[in-house]
Amino acid sequence: MQEPRAHWSSSVGLVFAAAGSAIGLGNLWKFPFITFENDGGAFVLVYLLCIAAVGLPIMMAELLIGRRTQKSVVGALREAVGPAWGVVGAWGVLCGFILLSYYTVIAGWSLYYFARTAQWTLTGFPAGLSTGDVFGAQVSSSGLQIALSLAFSTATVAVVYFGVQRGIERIARLFLPILFAILVLMLVSALGMSGSGEALAFIFRPNFAELEPESVLEALGHSFFTLSLGMGAMVTYGSYIAGNQSIVKASAVIVVLDTVIALFATVIMFSVIFSVSGMREQVGASTVGMLFISLPELFYTQVPFGRILGPLFYVLVALAALTSTISLLEVVASYLIDEHDVDRHKATILCGAAIFVFTIFAAISFSGAPFFSTLALFEGKTGWFETADHFVSNWMLPTGGLAITLAAGWFMTREATRGELVDGNEPGWFRYGVWRLFIRWVAPAAVGAIVVAVIFFGRDFS
């Protein structure tokens, strides 16, 4: 027997949980880096446009499909659109599985860096220490990598185990305010640094001459990733919305929160980096460099109150990552719970364990372990970590997102979608019309462009 479906305690609960899902490593790690790579200003503006014109309408589409059907992604698409659409749902579950398998590894690094920075805070930053070497040593130790990921996976399973209200919502309500407070503290400190003016100009002064057409697609692809769209995570969270809780306002708040946090993080990182001469050239080299090589040292040599902010920063990364990993695990576990009648406790542990096997592959792919460092399904991508990230960001999220857009815009009836978006006796005609225009035309065209670029032109956005 199925238990009655669990619901968020209120629409505030939904906002916390969904914002927790959206706000993650994408905001703190990916966004600052791609903004740097794409020369700031114009890229940021394009990104904001993508978030508003494509991300927001799809966020509403996913939540409404979930709310309408009260089922997680496979059952939801089947019921809302048609039996064949279960395949799209299964694609989403698979995507959650793969994404969680490698996301956990980077999340695990935040635990290591918390411990290291806490140590430096207490005993002082060792003179002459190379943070590049510190990073290299931790990432190439397979045992350490597996231990860190295991710690993080266990925490993820523990939260999802307790269910929608007592697990997911409770943790999000507790963590998001802490995360926000730490970020604001860091922002205040960063804005006082000498590089902050240059950083703000870099981020907010658009120079369209430097914008490549490819950057537009990269901004679009990232808007999917950062909002947790394209794989049914928001369909699943939407299925825990009770009938009387509104979707439209909640979606707007979730999207704004995610965007503000990404911008805060970017301002903070660039203010720090631009305050040191020569650093700007140095950090460009790698995605992980900014967060795990440059910043740790700068906390102890440059940032005001850095001795306190250093460890706090990695607490922030860990909290942001955990509210995302629980959402990923929920996508996979809720499939077993809803479609195969497995009880939540069993489903959570089973899925957590199965995914962890692949997390081990991701964790050891940095240490040159034989098979996993040579796995080369995609050109230039070695190991499970790179392969999975490439596959998810380039193939799975855009194709899944396209399917969901088409489902909501073209395959569901106007009455069905309207019934979910327009509440009670609110007129809402205009608002609904705008949404429908975007979900039928703008979003599919934009997402379709990514799919075409990846499939036919071999583009790489990860």
C-alpha dist (Å) from residue 286 to 66, 132, 207, 277, 294: 38, 12, 24, 18, 11
Q: Is 219 in the site for ligand TRP (CB under 6 A)?
A: no
What six digits make up the tokens of 281? Answer: 């050239």
x/- contact string, 168-207, with ligand TRP (CB under 6 A)?
A: ----------------------------------------
Q: Which region, judged by CB under 6 A, interacts with ligand TRP, from 49-57, 228-236, 245-253, 309-317?
A: 228-236
CB of 250 to ligand TRP, least distance (A): 16
Closer of 26 and 86 to ligand TRP (Cβ): 26
**Residues contacting 232, CB < 8 A, separation 6+:** 62, 72, 73, 76, 77, 89, 92, 93, 96, 331, 400, 404
How far is residue 436's CA from residue 408's CA, in Å, rounded to a whole number? Answer: 9
Of residues 326 through 385, those in contact with ligand TRP by CB under 6 A are: 327-328
Q: Is 462 in the site for ligand TRP (CB under 6 A)?
A: no
Q: Is 145 in the site for ligand TRP (CB under 6 A)?
A: no
Q: Is 225 in the site for ligand TRP (CB under 6 A)?
A: yes
Closer of 246 and 325 to ligand TRP (Cβ): 325
CB of 74 to ligand TRP, least distance (A): 15
Q: Is 388 in the site for ligand TRP (CB under 6 A)?
A: no
Q: Is 394 in the site for ligand TRP (CB under 6 A)?
A: no
Q: Is 108 in the site for ligand TRP (CB under 6 A)?
A: no
Q: Is 228 in the site for ligand TRP (CB under 6 A)?
A: yes
Q: Is 275 in the site for ligand TRP (CB under 6 A)?
A: no
* CB-facing half-sphere around the CA of 169: CA atoms within 13 A: 17
CB of 21 to ligand TRP, least distance (A): 4
**Residues contacting 295, CB < 8 A, separation 6+:** 269, 272, 313
What six digits make up the tokens of 158? Answer: 């523990």
Closer of 248 and 332 to ligand TRP (Cβ): 332
Q: Is 226 in the site for ligand TRP (CB under 6 A)?
A: yes
Q: Is 55 in the site for ligand TRP (CB under 6 A)?
A: no
Residue from the set 93, 233, 315, 364 that interacts with ligand TRP by CB under 6 A: 233
CB of 169 to ligand TRP, least distance (A): 15
Q: Is 401 in the site for ligand TRP (CB under 6 A)?
A: no
Closer of 88 and 422 to ligand TRP (Cβ): 88
Q: Is 160 in the site for ligand TRP (CB under 6 A)?
A: no
CB of 233 to ligand TRP, least distance (A): 4
Q: Which region, judged by CB under 6 A, interacts with ligand TRP, from 157-165, 167-175, 322-330, 406-414?
A: 322-330
Closer of 103 and 125 to ligand TRP (Cβ): 103
Residue from the set 35, 101, 324, 417 that interacts with ligand TRP by CB under 6 A: 324
x/- contact string, 78-107, with ligand TRP (CB under 6 A)?
A: ---------------------x--------
Q: Which region, judged by CB under 6 A, interacts with ligand TRP, from 70-78, 225-233, 422-430, 449-457?
A: 225-233
Of residues 7 through 26, those in contact with ligand TRP by CB under 6 A are: 21-22, 24-26
Q: Is 159 in the site for ligand TRP (CB under 6 A)?
A: no
Q: What is the 3-state secondary structure (H, E, C) of the chain?
A: CCCCCCCCCCHHHHHHHHHHHHCCHHHHHHHHHHHHHCCCHHHHHHHHHHHHHHHHHHHHHHHHHHHHHCCCHHHHHHHHCCHHHHHHHHHHHHHHHHHHHHHHHHHHHHHHHHHHHHHHHHHCCCCCCCHHHHHHHHHHCHHHHHHHHHHHHHHHHHHHHCHHHHHHHHHHHHHHHHHHHHHHHHHHHHHCCCCHHHHHHHHHCCCHHHCCHHHHHHHHHHHHHHCCCCCCHHHHHHCCCCCCCCCHHHHHHHHHHHHHHHHHHHHHHHHHHHCCCCHHHHHCCCHHHHHHHHHHHHHHHCCCCHHHHHHHHHHHHHHHHHHHHHHHHHHHHHHHHHHHCCCHHHHHHHHHHHHHHHHHHHHHCCCCCHHHHHCCCCCCCCHHHHHHHHHHHHHHHHHHHHHHHHHHHHHCCHHHHHHHHCCCCCCCHHHHHHHHHHHHHHHHHHHHHHHHHHHHHCCCCC
Q: Is 153 in the site for ligand TRP (CB under 6 A)?
A: no
Provide the binding-site residues for ligand TRP, judged by CB under 6 A: 21-22, 24-27, 99, 225-226, 228, 231, 233, 324, 327-328
